[in-house]
């Protein structure tokens, strides 16, 4: 079925509220999902895959700063979805980059990492060059890098597999993000090591996808849509004759 961007954002927001997100975090999480889906980057699929875990997460758990100095921070994502744990950690990196010109933040132990892209886009829109890097799998070793130019909310994305696996190849469920005030951080593939490019999304292609989504609507899985609606329903109050009076007599 097709839905509008606004519908997707609105229903997602209500679903996140039902999952115990605060208003601000529900806004951000809904924006992140809808942003990805509008670029056909499978935001809903990522959400669907992680929904069961999201429903079990402690809504009051906070990402914890393990280390920070003027230029960098390491944050423990507490095994939470990036929908819960990344926005403020990224704002911390943004503040450091503004103050020092460049910052690095590592968010360790986080889930649904693809979905972080929407918030990175938001920071890029505020004039920050941003790049994010993480490993998707260990065997074969695949890596993903996403870059945004300052003031552009459309990314360049590369996903590739590395053939020469380094000795140190421990599972890594973290993300490394670099922000810089003045320097482009776009992913340009240059390496003496051998790699296979698995996916490549250029800004121009993604912009065209986005325009089509706004013009024609966004295709969603009806089963997932229904699942979100059931969740969203939990934010609503049962009706009664007395509650109907709460909207004023007719």
Partner 1 sequence: MMDLPPNTNAALQALRPPSVVMALERLGSLHSSRLSFARSLIRQMARQRWHITCERFALNAQGHGQAIYRIQTPNNRYHAVIFAQALDDELRSDRVIANAWDITFGLVEGDVEDSLMASLAENLPLQEAGRQHPSLLVISRANKSERNFEQFVDALASGHQPDSKLLLDAGYLYRTTAVYGNGKFGIADYGRLQSNPDFKRPFSAQMTVVYLLRHFAVAQIEHIARCRAPKKAVALHPELQRYMGIGNSTGLGMAPFLINHPQLIDRWITAREQSLALCKLQAPTELNRRQLVALCERARQYFAETKVDDTHQQHLNDVVVTEMDSVLPWLEQVELTDTLWQALCDWAEAALSVESQELLHSLLMELYPSLVDPFEDVMSVQEKQELHPDMPLVQLKQLIETHFDWALAENFDEPQSCYWFWYRSVEKEEPRLGVRGQDPGVEKELALAVAPRVQRCHTAIEAFLTDNPRVLTIEFLMANPRFMDTVRRIQTMAATSYGEIRANLWHQDMKPMHLLRTKLSFLGASRFDPRSDRWVRVTFFQGAPLVDELNREPTDLASFDDWSFPLAPTLRETTATTTIRDTIDTNTSIHTDTSTSTSTDNITCAEEHDESLL
Residues that bind partner 1 (CB under 8 A): 1-7, 22-25, 27, 62-63, 65, 87-88, 91-92, 94-95, 98-99, 122, 126, 214-217, 233, 235-239, 242-244, 246-250
Determine the Cα–Cα distance for residues 177 and 122; give it in Å rounded to an integer: 14
Nearer to partner 1, 40 or 91 (CB): 91
d(CA 114, CA 118): 9
Distance between CA atoms of 118 and 32, rounded to whole angstroms? 4
- The answer for residues whose C-beta is within 8 angstroms of residue 40's C-beta and 6 or more apart is 209, 213
CB of 99 to partner 1, least distance (A): 6
> Rounded to the nearest whole angstrom, what is the least distance from the CB of residue 224 to partner 1 in the complex?
16
Q: Which is nearer to partner 1, 107 or 145 (CB)?
A: 107
Q: Map tokens 């990522």 to a residue.
A: 46
The DSSP secondary structure of 158-207, one letter per residue, reads EEEEESS--S-------EEEEEESSS--------SS-EEEEEEE-HHHHH
> Do residues 84 and 29 touch, judged by C-beta distance below 8 A?
yes
Phi, psi of 234, rounded to the nearest 5 degrees: -70, -15
């Amino acid at each position: 079925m097709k839905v509008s961007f606004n519908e997707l954002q609105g229903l997602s927001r209500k679903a996140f509220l039902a999952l115990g997100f605060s208003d601000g975090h529900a806004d951000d999480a809904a924006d992140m999902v809808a942003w990805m889906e509008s670029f056909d980057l499978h935001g809903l699929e990522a959400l669907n895959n992680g929904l069961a875990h999201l429903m079990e997460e402690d809504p009051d758990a906070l990402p914890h700063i393990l280390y920070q100095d003027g230029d960098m921070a390491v944050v423990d994502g507490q095994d939470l979805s990036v929908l819960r744990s990344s926005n403020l950690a990224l704002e911390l990196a943004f503040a450091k980059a503004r103050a020092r010109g460049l910052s690095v933040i590592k968010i360790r132990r986080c889930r649904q990492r693809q979905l972080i892209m929407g918030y990175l886009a938001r920071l890029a829109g505020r004039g920050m060059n941003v790049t994010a890097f993480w490993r998707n799998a260990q065997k074969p070793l695949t890596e993903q890098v996403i870059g945004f130019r300052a003031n552009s909310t459309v990314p360049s994305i590369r996903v590739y597999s590395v053939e020469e696996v380094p000795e140190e190849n421990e599972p890594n469920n973290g993300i490394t993000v670099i922000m810089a005030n003045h320097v482009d951080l776009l992913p340009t593939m240059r390496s003496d090591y051998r790699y296979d490019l698995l996916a490549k999304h250029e800004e121009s292609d993604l912009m065209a996808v986005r325009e089509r989504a706004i013009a024609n609507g966004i295709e969603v899985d009806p089963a997932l849509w229904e699942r979100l609606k059931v969740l969203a329903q939990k934010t609503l109050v049962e009706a009664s004759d007395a509650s109907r009076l709460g909207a004023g007599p007719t």
